[in-house]
A = this chain, B = another copy of it.
C-alpha cells in the first residue's frame, strides 16, 4: 500500500494534524467533525498509505465548498435493532459518517457479541482500514467496506461494472500489532496505474482491461477507456458484489453507476456512497488472554516459517504499516511530492500556509 512516489518533505504528525484541522475549520466543518476527519486522514498517512491520507483533503474541500458535502448536518441512525443499524450519513464527510457508524457497531457488539451497521448517503471514506482499527482498539474484530463508482471489470465484460469496493479488517493480538488488511477488489489500485502512466512506464499484463474487453498494458487508456482487472478474476468480482450488496443494496445507498464520483462529479451533488461495518466482540466467546495467546502463536508460526530465496521475511497484514507509523510518530512523515502538491493546493484555496518542518 506504500506510495510509489519519491519523498520530498518531512512534516511532524502534530503539524499535519493542526494543518488539517485549520483547513477543515476554514471550510465550515465543526471542530468535532474536523477532529474526526483529520484523525482518519493523518492516521492513514502514518501508515504510509499516502494515496488515501491527507492527499484527499483538496478534493473534499471542493465538495464542501460546492455543497455536495454538508457541514450543517450530522449522521443519524435511520433504523436499528439491538445488533444492527442503518445510518443515514446525511451527506456529511465520509469519514464523519463512517466513524459514527463504526462506533455504533462497536457499542452494539459490546452488548450482543456481533453487530452489522450499514450506511447510506455517505461519501468517499478514505482508508477502510482506519474504521476496522477503531474496533481493534476496543479489543474487537472489525470489518469495514464500501462501494464506489464502477472502475473494475467483470470476467467477460467490456468495461467497468463494479467499484474497486475496498474491504478491510483488523484483528487485535494482545501486545502484538493488530492484523490489519485493507484491499480493493481490483488487482491493483487505480492510483498505481496513474503513477506508472505519469512516469511513462507500461502497465504490467493483468492490471487493466482495454476497450475491447481484453487485457491491455496501455495505462493512458485508464480510466476513460480501460477498467481495472478484478483480483483473481471471478473471485475479486464476486467479493466486490458481496461488498456492493452489504454496503449499497441493503442500506438504500446508491448502487454501482448511481454512486457519484467524489472527485469528478458536480461538487454540488451528494455522491450517496454506501458502507458497511461488522464487529465481533470475541472476548464474549473466548477469554481475551487466551485469544491473544492464540493470535500470538499464529503470528510467531508464520514469522518463523522458512523464507523464500527472493525474500527477507514473511509479513503479517499491516506489519509494514505499523512499522511506518512508529517511525513517523518519532521522526515526522516524509510526504511524497504529489501529497505536498495537493496540500499546497488546498492551503491556497482556503488562504492559509502549509507549515513544513
Q: Which residues of A contact B (CB under 8 A)?
A: 79, 81-84, 86, 112-116, 118, 141, 153-159, 161-162, 169, 171, 179, 181, 183, 187, 209, 212-214, 231-232, 234-239, 241-242, 244-246, 249-252, 255-257, 278, 280, 282, 284-286, 291, 294-295, 297-298, 301-302, 305-317
Contact = CB atoms under 8 A, between A and B. Distances in A.
Contacts of A169: 242
A161 B314 contact: yes
A159 B116 contact: no
Given A81-B112, A231-B235, 5 more contacts: A84-B112, A84-B113, A84-B285, A112-B112, A250-B280
Given A298-B244, A298-B255, A314-B156, A250 B285 contact: yes
A308 B161 contact: no
A251 B114 CA distance: 14
Given A234-B317, A252-B286, A305-B158, A311 B81 contact: no
B232 A187 contact: yes
A177 to B, nearest CB: 13
29 contacts: A82-B82, A82-B112, A112-B112, A141-B245, A153-B308, A154-B314, A156-B307, A156-B308, A156-B313, A156-B315, A157-B305, A157-B311, A157-B314, A161-B302, A181-B235, A181-B238, A187-B232, A212-B309, A213-B306, A213-B307, A213-B309, A231-B231, A231-B235, A232-B232, A246-B280, A250-B280, A250-B285, A255-B298, A257-B301
Contact of A246 (B141, B297, B307): B141
Contacts of A181: 234-235, 238-239, 241-242
A230 to B, nearest CB: 9
A306 B157 contact: yes
A291 B249 contact: yes
Contacts of A237: 317
Number of this chain's copies in the complex: 2
Nearest first, the 4 A-B pairs at minimum CB distance are A213-B308, A156-B311, A181-B238, A231-B232
Interface of A is mostly: mixed
A176 B161 CA distance: 19
A291 B250 contact: yes
Contacts of A306: 157-159, 213
A148 to B, nearest CB: 15
Contacts of A284: 81, 84
